[in-house]
Structure 1
Amino acid sequence: MRKMKLWEYIVIAITVLIVLMGNTVPSDEEYHKWLEAQYKIKKNCDSIRCINYSSEGITTTPFFMIAETNTSKRSKRSIKVLGVYKTFFVLENNLNGES
């Protein structure tokens, strides 16, 4: 049996990561649950303890998702996140900006 070369190990590792990314892309529902848990932002707000959002854009690819939610008519009050491996990473957070 021959010994594997370094580049073969790298190709295998990258392939495994890509397959895992494809199987662990967060869904829209998971994003909304995360948004509500972290920032008390939800689409149908029934109480004064949550923030109702006005617009949202979600782009889902086979390997990741990017979502942007605006909480007012002004774009200064928004959050933009990257979802990968069932985790969300905040790219831009302007929720504490001017009202």
Structure 2
Amino acid sequence: MTWSEFGRKVRENGNVGTGHGAAGPQFVFGNAVHGGIFGEHPDLVHLSNVDDPLHRIDFRSYYATVLERWLEVDAREVLGGPFELIDFL
């Protein structure tokens, strides 16, 4: 499992580029993974107060899924609260 900080801001910056954004892709690999794309494409119109696309899945849901379904650990104890599990495992 890996997370990429490659998320970008939608609006162009002063250097005719885009700055780092808060939302980005997360990749999960392995034989136990149910392949596919999970979540929806980001909404590029309704942005956060700092012009970032709003994330569709909380990154802690990925961790909760691995903890519960792979490591068989109570994710609430590790993450400090409940998070929705994702069907990639």
Higher RCO (Cα < 8 Å, 6 or more apart): 2
Q: How high is the TM-score relative to the length of structure 1?
A: 0.26
More strand by share: 1
**Which has more radius of gyration?**
1
Q: How high is the TM-score relative to the length of structure 2?
A: 0.27
